[in-house]
Chains A and B, each alone.
Chain A
Amino acid sequence: EIVMTQSPATLSVSPGERATLSCRASQSVSSNLAWYQQKSGQTPRLLIYGASTRATGIPARFTGSGSGTEFTLTISSLQSEDFAVYYCQQYNDWPPAYTFGQGTKLEIK
């Protein structure tokens, strides 16, 4: 099973600043990586797939990058609605054994 490790566990950033979240895979997942945002009490929302493609309706301030084992989600100029928990997910395994990272909580500094 591919293990996904996110860092940091908690990130404190001021509104208007940039946030950089990391996700590492225990083995290469190529570009088969997605990012999700989950606000408190809500359903997860797809942000990025294919490591760098924004999902429909996702603002341009969300940028995904990386391939292989190292991935980054960058949120430029944080808005109040961006404070949430972010999960990465690999979908490289076939037959499927998809795994999520443990999440990074992005909180207001």
Chain B
Amino acid sequence: QVQLVQSGAEVRKPGASVKVSCKASGYTFTSYHIHWVRQAPGQGLEWMGVINPGTLNTKYAQNYQGRVTMTKDTSTDTVYMDLNSLRSEDTAMYYCCRNKHYFDYWGQGTLVTVSS
């Protein structure tokens, strides 16, 4: 069955960076885009960007341009989301999710807390 398993919770200080992983299984890794969506506490969903594991193409939301990098490791069917220059407003649950346009499978989420 399709699964997206994310890395565990992280705590960072302002100005630091964080790298969250998302390991895919149960389907052909290179056949589906992986997106990252975040949700601040008590807030709605916000799309951050997408990577095509088959071509390495990426597209980032304007709000994150220059701060986010999405990469992949085909040998382990894993996608990574790297966010730098963290600030307190980046405290959120970060989800990876699958598919080209709408998101049919979601990871369990990774809580990133930014606090001094």
Residue numbers of A with Cβ under 8 A of B are 1, 32, 34, 36, 38, 43-46, 49, 55-56, 87, 89, 91, 95-103
User: In the complex where A1-B62, A32-B101 touch, is A102 in contact with B44 (Cβ < 8 A)?
Assistant: yes
Q: For the complex formed, measure the closest distance between the CB of A109 and the CB atoms of chain B, giving whole angstroms.
A: 22
Q: Which residues of A contact B104 (CB under 8 A)?
A: 46, 49, 55-56
| B80: Cβ under 8 A from any A Cβ | no
A-B contact count (CB 8 A): 54
Q: For the complex formed, measure the closest distance between the CB of A56 and the CB atoms of chain B, giving whole angstroms.
A: 8
Question: B61 contacts which of A97, A101, A103 (Cβ < 8 Å)?
Answer: A97
Assembly CA distance A10 to B63 (angstroms): 28
Question: B44 contacts which of A43, A45, A56, A103 (Cβ < 8 Å)?
Answer: A103
Assembly CA distance A44 to B107 (angstroms): 10
Interface contacts beyond A46-B103, A103-B45: sample of 17 additional A-B pairs, CB < 8 Å, sorted by A = A34-B102, A36-B103, A38-B45, A43-B95, A43-B108, A46-B104, A49-B101, A87-B44, A87-B45, A91-B101, A95-B59, A97-B47, A98-B101, A99-B47, A100-B45, A100-B47, A102-B44
Query: Are B102 and A100 touching (Cβ within 8 A)?
Result: no
- Closest residue to B47 on the A side, CB-wise? A98
Main secondary structure of the interface of B (DSSP, over half): loop
Question: A96 contacts which of B59, B95, B107, B108 (Cβ < 8 Å)?
Answer: B59
Q: For the complex formed, measure the closest distance between the CB of A45 and the CB atoms of chain B, giving whole angstroms.
A: 8
A–B Cβ pairs within 8 angstroms, 16 of them: A43-B95, A43-B109, A44-B103, A46-B102, A46-B103, A46-B104, A87-B44, A87-B45, A89-B103, A91-B101, A95-B59, A96-B50, A96-B101, A98-B47, A100-B45, A100-B46
